[in-house]
């Protein structure tokens, strides 16, 4: 049922009015067990998209006064092959300067923090039928700082604009477009005068990617340890943690997890160093960090070699830590409860 309207201005100054609704699916998305505030949700398919660009010094690079080209990537999710086209976002500053950006790991952290804020029933909303979050810049900055990622307000605003302006096109293996959308299709942001005068009260709004709404509606998200995720030093560690949390639903010492080096490099969007040894070092540093965080107890590798004993690929076998197995069991139980509750929300089928 529609209960109110939300108004605000987008980054172009246009007044936008959105209708608010309160679907039960959003309540399920926000519901965790009591005293378990450390959790957030992974999103089906969307979190598998390698949408973040790793090389910071390339973010503003121009060639002969032209802007950044589109990026093309390939990835797989649950046995299906996809192609990704990333269109950079062009940010125009007050002095008239224009710069283009790919979404980077800074935007990844901002998006994760906003999704966690959306788990609060006062902040997470459905407007015009799409999932989003209402927040203050002060609240967002505080959340990131608490998790060890302090970002200045101007940089936060820049990140929000990049997510609003950069676009993702996901295609199947034949090249047919499945969905095209900015990371944040709608961004309503307060003016500088407003947030400087009342930083704790002046609210902004972000609409999440449509795949987030689809995951909420279909109960295809999974609970994961957000607090641990935000403490990782290496971005590849965060990617591996979230992949395990979402896909490794049968974690146990009797059911180990295997993943190849080529899969990690392809699906994570990680920077692929020119030297193979540097790639190995980055991946194994991330695995060691997962071990230090008690996500894996141990990991082993098996090398596949070709002509002249050259390494063609490596398969990593992960032994889950007992604490991670318990986290997976909690996530499985929550998914079952949410699915059961969702069945009660579904309209009766015609006979």
Q: Is the pLDDT of residue 175 over 80?
A: yes
Query: Which pLDDT score is estimated for 65?
Result: 57
Q: Calculate mean pLDDT across residues 7-24.
A: 87
Instruction: Grade residue 346 by pLDDT with cuts at 50, 70 and 90.
Output: low
- Whose CA is closest to 182, among 162, 158, 200? 162
- Whose CA is closest to 211, among 35, 350, 30, 49? 49
| % of the chain beyond a pLDDT of 90 | 71
Q: Which segment, 93-97, 113-117, 279-283, 302-306, is predicted with the most confidence on average?
A: 113-117
pLDDT in tens, 35-74: 778 999 999 999 999 999 986 545 555 544 567 899 999 9
Q: Looking at the chain, how many residues does it have?
A: 351
Q: Calculate mean pLDDT across residues 251-256.
A: 96
Q: Is the pLDDT of residue 284 over 50?
A: yes
Query: Which pLDDT score is estimated for 64?
Result: 47
- Whose CA is closest to 208, among 230, 226, 182, 236? 182
- Whose CA is closest to 29, among 239, 250, 220, 245? 220
Q: Calculate mean pLDDT across residues 155-181.
A: 96
Query: Which pLDDT score is estimated for 275?
Result: 66
Q: Are the C-beta atoms of residues 55 and 101 closer than 8 Å to each other?
A: no
Q: Are the C-beta atoms of residues 183 and 166 closer than 8 Å to each other?
A: yes
Query: Which pLDDT score is estimated for 1?
Result: 40
Sheet holding 257-260, edge to edge: 257-260, 311-320, 296-305
Query: Which pLDDT score is estimated for 316?
Result: 98
Q: Are the C-beta atoms of residues 178 and 219 closer than 8 Å to each other?
A: no
Alpha-carbon distance values, 258 to 30, 91, 108, 302 (Å): 31, 41, 26, 10
Query: Which pLDDT score is estimated for 67?
Result: 77
DSSP state of 183: S
Mean pLDDT over all residues of the chain? 90
Q: Is the pLDDT of residue 182 over 80?
A: yes
Instruction: Grade residue 351 by pLDDT with cuts at 50, 70 and 90.
Output: very low
Contacts of 119 (CB under 8 A, 6+ apart): 29, 30, 32, 39, 40, 41
Boundaries of every domain in the chain: 4-221, 235-324
Query: Which pLDDT score is estimated for 186?
Result: 97
| % of the chain beyond a pLDDT of 70 | 92
The second-level CATH assignment, the architecture, of 235-324 is Orthogonal Bundle (1.10)
CA–CA gap between residue 339 and residue 259 (Å, rounded): 29
pTM for this model (two decimals) = 0.92
Q: Is the pLDDT of residue 179 over 70?
A: yes
């Amino acid at each position: 049922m529609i209960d109110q309207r939300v108004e605000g201005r987008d980054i172009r100054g246009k007044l936008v009015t959105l209708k608010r609704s309160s679907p039960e699916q959003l309540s399920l998305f926000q519901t965790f067990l009591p005293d378990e505030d450390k959790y957030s949700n992974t999103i089906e398919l969307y979190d598998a998209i390698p949408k973040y660009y790793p090389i910071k010094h390339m973010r503003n690079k121009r060639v002969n006064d032209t802007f950044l080209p589109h990026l093309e990537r390939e990835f797989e999710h649950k046995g299906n092959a996809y192609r990704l086209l990333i269109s950079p976002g062009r940010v125009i500053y007050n002095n008239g300067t224009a710069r283009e950006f790919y979404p980077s790991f800074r935007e990844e952290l901002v998006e994760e923090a906003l999704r966690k804020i959306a788990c609060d029933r006062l902040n997470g909303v459905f407007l015009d039928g799409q999932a989003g979050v209402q927040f203050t810049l002060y609240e967002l900055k505080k959340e990131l700082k608490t998790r060890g990622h302090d970002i200045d307000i101007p940089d936060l605003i820049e990140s929000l604009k990049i997510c609003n302006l950069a676009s993702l096109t996901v295609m199947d293996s034949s090249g047919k477009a499945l969905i095209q959308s900015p990371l944040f299709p709608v961004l309503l942001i307060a003016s500088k005068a407003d947030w400087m005068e009342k930083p704790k009260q002046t609210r902004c709004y972000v609409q999440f990617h449509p795949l987030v709404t689809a995951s909420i509606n279909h109960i295809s998200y999974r609970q994961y340890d957000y607090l641990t995720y935000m403490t990782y030093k290496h971005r590849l560690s965060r990617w591996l943690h979230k992949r395990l949390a979402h896909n490794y639903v049968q974690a146990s010492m009797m059911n180990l997890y295997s993943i190849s080096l080529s899969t990690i490099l392809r699906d994570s969007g990680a920077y692929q160093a020119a030297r193979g040894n540097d790639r190995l070092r980055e991946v194994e540093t991330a695995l060691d960090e997962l071990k230090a965080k008690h996500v894996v107890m141990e990991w082993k590798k098996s090398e596949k070699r070709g002509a002249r004993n050259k390494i063609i690929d490596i398969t990593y076998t992960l032994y889950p830590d007992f604490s991670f197995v318990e986290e997976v069991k909690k996530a499985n139980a929550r998914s079952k409860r949410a699915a059961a509750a969702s069945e009660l929300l579904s309209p009766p089928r015609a006979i």
